[in-house]
Structure 1
Amino acid sequence: MAPADELFPRTRTVLGPGAVHLPHWLTPEEQLRLVAACRAWARPPAGLRLVRTPGGGAMTARQFCLGWHWYPYGYARTVVDGDGAPVKPMPAALAELGRGAAEAAGHTVGEAYDIALVNFYDADARMGMHRDSDEKSDAPVVSLSLGDTGVFRFGNTRTRTKPYTDVELRSGDLVVFGGPSRLAYHGVPRVLPGTAPPELGLTGRLNITLRVSGLG
């Protein structure tokens, strides 16, 4: 539901075939609960970490995982590129939230969401154009935004370059991409500091990405 003070209410937008942006999908109460949960999940062991690429670089957004641990470019049950601890389990309520989000975007999912990648962006963090291609399932990807607004760049399945669409994702927004857009390139070129709802008590942006692994 759009805030009462929004002059031009944002509406459901199709970003591509099978890709949808639903503004204000999470209620303020759901956002508060998810932020509190993320703070607990982010604590060690298997907590928030800096992700290093095979080339020796580091992602500017920090990350933790639930269900399966992602590392470039695969999945494991332990934090193989961190403290080695077992990954925290995927909460059933979060898996169900993923299914409901996919259905709200018009997708039917026969498998349970069993991966959550949670990225934390401070004011200087970015995410380059990439595809979510390490899963064995073609179930749609669910992306939930909390805190500061992020500029989300949604591209095509062929190249990291244009054509792409930039859309502002505010706290509570949902993006789902599946079907022909399941392997579309996407990224976050910038975050808009100081735009988080004050009641969240959050400085920065949290992005919860839910996936179906297909790994059994």
Structure 2
Amino acid sequence: MSGAALARLLLEGGAVRVSHGQPFILAAGWASPAYVDCRLLVGEPRLRRAATALAVEAVRAAFVAPPEAIAGAETAGIPWAAWMAEALDLPLRYVRKRPLGIGRNAQVEGGPVEGMRVLLVDDLMTDGGSKVAFARGLRSAGAVVEDALCLFRHGTFPGGAERMEKLGLNLVALASWRDVLDAGGEGALPAEDRALLERFLADPIGWSAAHGGRATLLKPPL
């Protein structure tokens, strides 16, 4: 399974970080005792090749209608999109967080997307806020965007599933915290890290509020 396989790659690459002191404040404002840095896979040829292979396999297995182009989300999704596009022999685009300039294609680089079925690729998802901007940017340029893929999904905080549903976006995530916790063998999380992560996952909103992060959604999912 891709979840177990990617979890092992993340652990092997040192991409899973657990802090028993200062919490991590994620981009969406939530506090977490653990963080995943997929960029550490980017830097290692063997690990990035293995992770890319899992992503390509997921695309071939998960989507009934194959994409006509791959779009990487600025900035961390771009390298993964590039490797996937190469492996799948598909056009590559990238989409910015916000428009740069004016016009219909102000967020999209690499060529036109009008009328094309485009797969949005990113490395992480917390509560899905950035995916709204990326999907809307591609759609405003005329792309058909119904599917997205990310390497790792936190899956702990509110808003993500609601955003994806309202956006009409089917998200495939290769791994989650449960995959990391279930990963055994060499490189598995130490017992004290597992215990902290389990406590956090039991009440992520309460844990965030108690450690200087957000306690609620700041606004409706869309």
Question: TM-score normalized by structure 2?
Answer: 0.30
Task: Work out which of the two has the higher radius of gyration on C-alpha atoms and give 1 or 2.
Answer: 2
Higher helix share: 2
Higher strand share: 1
Question: TM-score normalized by structure 1?
Answer: 0.31
